[in-house]
Chain A
């Protein structure tokens, strides 16, 4: 193995080389840098990366720690002191984080090195990364297609072997959907499992930080590092953190997996449907018992999600007022003009749309009809899952109704873009955990493979079991070993 091949390694493989002293953390960063320079012009995943600063950090790192010397790419909405944190928005252009998020402190405490700021849909609003104000990110499997979103930079980088692993955030599918479209593993922890202190808030009752990696084992390792209670996030759960790798390698005997009948709807690409049906068969052959299950309120999840998420966003984004940080309009005539023009100049179209929708559903006269009603239906969706998890340990579905779509295909129709999250939204509404793992390829054009993702959902705080099932499936297939040619 040459240094040129290093970036293709998983975190587990890299960790073994680092521990044996066959390569140093600084050499690892150098190899990664060379690969980024060779490939990222085509992908557009990185907004910024600082080799000198990361190398200085690498030289001091304690190699006996679980993630000693391993570089991790960070979605550009998680604060790392001294680095940019633009959230893919013009309004935060030039912003430098004055402090680090809890997840960053936790990664560093395990020896990992935050390296690189990854492109994303502005303020995590989108499913294709096309809403970034900074640049286009392309799918490594087909450069004319989107990598998914909103954590599209994180997903594309891992898929293109220009990151060993990455952190993203998932409000309605923003880790799992880009992982599916880019052919990697994306994990959304249960609500409250990972501290959001230092994560720029989009929708506070839905947001979670999670890992994007090449394998399930890598995902579990990163979760071991970032999970846990934090007194600086009042929504953080004070529950013990198990070793998420402990169940890896166990078979699936005695595990019941539910296939929600509502998830095999029309509108799912037949190629995706076939891949998921085959994956479910495979889970059965590994010892799992597959049963039909019903989540009767599934059809309402997208509506509930876009009412609640935009309402919360409209409140969260009120902080961008051009006073304490970020863009500020020049030559304003009064205070109203200061706010209205600062925000008009700083925010992109999708963010403006969602602020308008969120403000509307919270406004006097419409609050009960939209916001309150949506919260009630959310409770019914939560109960659907609670009842399902009395019968099964996990639910299985496609992650996304289709493989990666073309750049520009859905940008003019927000509703079509919102429907891309149809299988992922509900998990955020219910606060449960979920993973996307590669389960096949579509081949719409000769010579180009497009990855398909399998979603597994588990009840709140049952992360270890979801890792067990996902790992057993992954290890029984070769999907994760196929890499895109760039």
Chain B
């Protein structure tokens, strides 16, 4: 399994630009980590339920009531670019 990792491809999926050196280094380092993780193949997991959480709690609801939250100014207080009470995004549709 380990050898199938293609760091350059996965970096595209993750929206992460990597330099050629980073790609090469991560390929080696993560290859080692995945090789170590291969021991999971030894475990018999037939019929075992996947644990998404350690404490199974489901369907947590709360009253649908309004509460004080950010004003627009507060929500925008850390925005790298903004105008007229709006976030400026990079052009999405050409």
* Contact string against B for A residues 202-219, beta-carbon threshold 8 Å, 1 for contact and 0 otherwise: 000110000000000000
Chain B residue nearest to A328 (CB atoms) is B80
Query: With a CB–CB cut-off of 8 A, which chain A residues contact B48?
Result: 376-377, 379-380
Q: Give the interface size class of chain A.
A: 35 or more
Q: How many residues of chain B have a CB within 8 Å of chain A?
A: 50
Task: Given A356-B16, A359-B14, decide whether A98 and B53 contact each other with a Cβ distance below 8 A.
Answer: no
Bound form: Cα–Cα A418–B15 in Å: 25
Q: Does A352 contact B (CB under 8 A)?
A: yes
Bound form: Cα–Cα A231–B67 in Å: 12
Chain A residue nearest to B8 (CB atoms) is A356
Q: How many Å from the CB of A220 to the closest CB on chain B?
A: 22
Q: Which of A29-37, A264-272, A342-350 contacts B (4 or more CB under 8 A)?
A: A342-350
Query: With a CB–CB cut-off of 8 A, which chain A residues contact B80?
Result: 322-323, 325-328
Q: Does A12 contact B (CB under 8 A)?
A: no
Bound form: Cα–Cα A357–B35 in Å: 12
Asked if B78 and A414 make an inter-chain contact with CB atoms under 8 angstroms apart, the answer reads: no
Bound form: Cα–Cα A352–B14 in Å: 9
Chain B residue nearest to A307 (CB atoms) is B37
CB contacts between A and B, total, < 8 Å? 171
Asked if B87 and A324 make an inter-chain contact with CB atoms under 8 angstroms apart, the answer reads: yes
Asked if B33 and A306 make an inter-chain contact with CB atoms under 8 angstroms apart, the answer reads: yes
* Contact string against A for B residues 1-29, beta-carbon threshold 8 Å, 1 for contact and 0 otherwise: 10011010011011111100010001001
Q: Does A169 contact B (CB under 8 A)?
A: no
Asked if A377 and B55 make an inter-chain contact with CB atoms under 8 angstroms apart, the answer reads: no
Query: With a CB–CB cut-off of 8 A, which chain A residues contact B60?
Result: 234-235
Q: How many Å from the CB of A232 to the closest CB on chain B?
A: 9
Asked if B75 and A306 make an inter-chain contact with CB atoms under 8 angstroms apart, the answer reads: no
* Contact string against B for A residues 370-386, beta-carbon threshold 8 Å, 1 for contact and 0 otherwise: 10111111111010000
Q: Does A314 contact B (CB under 8 A)?
A: yes
Give B contacts to A, CB under 8 Å: 1, 4-5, 7, 10-11, 13-18, 22, 26, 29-30, 32-34, 36-37, 39-41, 43, 45, 48-55, 57, 60, 62, 70, 74-75, 77-81, 87, 89-92
Give A contacts to B, CB under 8 Å: 94-96, 98-99, 190-192, 205-206, 231, 234-235, 237, 297, 299-300, 302-304, 306-307, 314, 318, 322-328, 332, 334-341, 343-344, 347, 349, 352-353, 355-357, 359-360, 363, 366, 369-370, 372-380, 382, 413-415, 418, 428-432, 460
- Can you report 8 residue pairs joining A to B where beta carbons are below 8 Å apart? A94-B78, A237-B57, A322-B80, A325-B78, A340-B17, A349-B22, A377-B45, A379-B51
